[in-house]
Amino acid sequence: MFEIKVKTNFSAAHNLRNYRGKCERLHGHNWVVEAAFHYASLDSVGMAVDFKVAKNLLKKVVERLDHSYLNELKFLGRVNPTSENIAKFIYECVKKKNRHLKAVSVWENETSCATYTEG
């Protein structure tokens, strides 16, 4: 099994609803998003997937979040814009374009990450 990972980033603001603490106030992050793809075999060139292709898939979704106030984005629905829900949203969008996607991790900072995977 081959695992291919790509990263991108975006900047956005949010505040957590129904939360007691600093994060209930408006604040922002420079988020890092990592997507992991699993392939059982390689193509004729010897690649599971071209990094450029995988990066573009991830980037197209993340561009919808960049420089926004996440609480106001209609396509996120009514979910609280936590790292967990953002990871799930990105996963579902990318998975529609590439069935080999296995996980999406969203980093709020260097020490805090949420990962979504099915199962």
Over the stretch 28-81, which tens digit does the pLDDT of each residue have? 999 999 999 999 999 999 999 999 999 999 999 999 999 999 999 998 888 999
Distance CA 5, CA 67 (A): 24
Which H or E run contains 13?
strand 2-14
Give me the mean pLDDT over the 2-18 stretch: 97
CATH code of the region 2-116: 3.30.479.10
Question: If pLDDT is split at 50, 70 and 90, which confidence band does 88 have?
Answer: very high
Answer whether 0.85 is exceeded by the pTM. Answer: yes
Active-site positions read 23, 67, 108
Spell out the alpha helix ranges (H) of the chain.
51-62, 83-95
Give me the mean pLDDT over the 14-38 stretch: 95
Q: What is the mean pLDDT of the chain?
A: 96
